[in-house]
Structure 1
Amino acid sequence: MIQIGLTGWGDHPDLYVSSGKERLQDYSSHFPIVELDASFYAIQPIKNSLKWIKETPDNFQFVVKCYQGITGHLRGDFPFSSLEEMFELYRQSILPFKEAGKLSMILAQFPPWFQCNKESVQYIRKVREELKDFDVVVEFRHQSWYAPEYKASTLQFLRENHLHHSVCDEPQAGEGSIPLVPIATTNKVLVRLHGRNTYGWVNPGNNVKWREVRYLYDYNNEELSSIRSVCEDLEKQANEVVILFNNNSGGHAASNAKKFQHMLGIDFEGLAPKQLDLFEGDF
């Protein structure tokens, strides 16, 4: 089974036919799955989780991103009394998704400075233990995890710890980027498509709008066709392939995802009712 969605539901104006407060409902009339990014910036109140669950169809799924304090992105003061408190509050915030049958997986995306070494491996083990009751997918950003001498061990480590593998399409721009490694380590695999804007990846700038530079990219038909082959091969390795387009900056993610869906000949069932299909006739 292949599921296609986008990272976040707030940056895709082509999908909306309602007011800003109903963007998730509009989104869920087009795609069956979404990446929840708000959970990265702050551990969300349970009331938010319940709200998002209520606003989506019964079969809708969330890939919930790990809080930044868990993955080592946090800058500034640590807002908890202990690591244990942080993990406990995070577990409480995502448990409603699991109980509702709407949690596809938790995404633990580690930063570019998280290198392949003994300390990092031990920390991933801790994360796995703290989140042992949940499906967890790991995404690396430092190239060392896939260096020739470590690649096989990295994948075997994920298998042994029942961790899903995040297969990434992104610019090849040195140590802070990873190659596309089309291998599933469990019965579920995540494919995240970040675009191929090499200049923006290396020179995102220091202002608050750096994401608008890094993820500005429009996949062409040839590139999408190549990615299709990768995903079809992954489907032979795993029962479920989740594909998320993250090239949001220029508004390309939704149209790229729709085009990709058309290439695969997939019709998603159980979506929210559509008031208007803005993409009708585009393909």
Structure 2
Amino acid sequence: MIRLGLTSFNEHDKLTGKKRSTLYEYAGYLPLVEMDTAYYGIPKQDSVREWTKSVPENFRFVMKVYSGISCQGEWQQYYQSEEEMVEAFLTSMAPMIESGKLFAFLIQFSGTFSCTKENVQYLEKIRRWFTGCPIAIELRNGSWYTAKYIKQTLSFMKHNEFSLVAVDEPQIPTNPVPFFPYVTNDHFALFRFHGRNAAGWMANDKDWRKKRTLYRYNTEEIAELSEAVEKVAREAKEIGVIFNNNSGGDAAGNLLEMKAALNLEYDNLNPKQMDLF
């Protein structure tokens, strides 16, 4: 099954027709969402339980893990050890895991997480910490994809049953990360589309959030990405596609274009208001 979704549920008026939507309303249109809430702080278990109750049985979540787990947060001020941090995260996420509505935990590393022995060992720790959980790894350092390391990267991902995220992002000359739709776990694969605005991607001023994913894919680009999704869908059981190019509100529109291109229709979603009459 190919599931199309967006980053967050509450800011996509081109999808729901509302400036701010609830998760329940969002789940009347799409069967997948990426939740980044836990990246900034591990949520209460009750909040996670309410999320799972707000969506139908066939709905799935891509949950971005806490920043401390992806080596981007100062976890030491909150937890005594890495193991305590991971245990807190998994305890929080227990209702989602138990509900069967987890598509994958997304572990997005920064551009400084390069292909080194130490970082490979850290990924091995992640596999031990998240035994039995679906894990999608997003690498933003191009060294993993170089001719020197790509075969080892793919072999490592397969061996550990990680799904290597197929990322479409701006190609930065100093750190190019290619769009690489390759299946490393035949149970599930994940695409994330960030847009191709190189200048915005590199912005580091106070308005960087308004620029980073400011991009609208054109018709030809949507066709190319759709072809890649279809190819991977022949090799993996479950496909998740997340549009994150929403600095200018373009994600939902591009998703609907891909939905049409792939001729997708979704059943068993939450009822929309108009469906109640």
Report the TM-score, using the length of structure 2 for normalisation: 0.94
Match of 1:226 among 216, 224, 227: 224
State the distance in 2 between where 1:150 and 1:10 align: 39
1:46 aligns with 2:45: yes
Q: Which moved more, 1:120-129 or 1:69-78?
A: 69-78
Local SS of the residue matching 1:53: helix
Local SS of the residue matching 1:70: coil
Shift of 1:75: 4.6
- Structure 2: stretches of 5+ with no match in the other structure: none
State the distance in 2 between where 1:96 and 1:77 align: 26
2:68 is matched with which residue?
69
How far does the alpha carbon of each residue in 1:17-75 deviate from its partner, in whole angstroms, 9 at most, with x for none? 6795x521111111100011001111111011011111111211001111000001115
Shift of 1:165: 1.4
Moved over 2 A (4+): 13-20, 75-78, 174-177
The amino acid across from 2:265 in the alignment is D
Local SS of the residue matching 2:22: helix
Contact 2:63-2:106 at 8 Å conserved across structures: yes
2:135 is matched with which residue?
136
How many aligned positions are there? Answer: 274
The alpha-carbon distance between structure 1 residues 247 and 274, as it changes in their structure 2 partners (threshold 3 A), is same
Local SS of the residue matching 1:10: coil
State the distance in 2 between where 1:259 and 1:274 align: 21
State the distance in 2 between where 1:44 and 1:61 align: 18
The alpha-carbon distance between structure 1 residues 236 and 17, as it changes in their structure 2 partners (threshold 3 A), is closer
Shift of 1:273: 1.1
2:247 is matched with which residue?
249
Identity %: 37
How far does the alpha carbon of each residue in 1:179-217 deviate from its partner, in whole angstroms, 9 at most, with x for none? 011100011110000001011112x2232x422211011
2:183 is matched with which residue?
184
Report the TM-score, using the length of structure 1 for normalisation: 0.92
2:93 is matched with which residue?
94
Local SS of the residue matching 1:67: coil
The amino acid across from 1:12 in the alignment is H
- Structure 1: stretches of 5+ with no match in the other structure: 278-283
How far does the alpha carbon of each residue in 1:120-139 deviate from its partner, in whole angstroms, 9 at most, with x for none? 00000001100112110111
Local SS of the residue matching 1:69: coil
State the distance in 1 between where 2:36 and 2:247 align: 15
Contact 1:16-1:23 at 8 Å conserved across structures: no
2:210 is matched with which residue?
212
2:264 is matched with which residue?
266
Local SS of the residue matching 2:68: helix
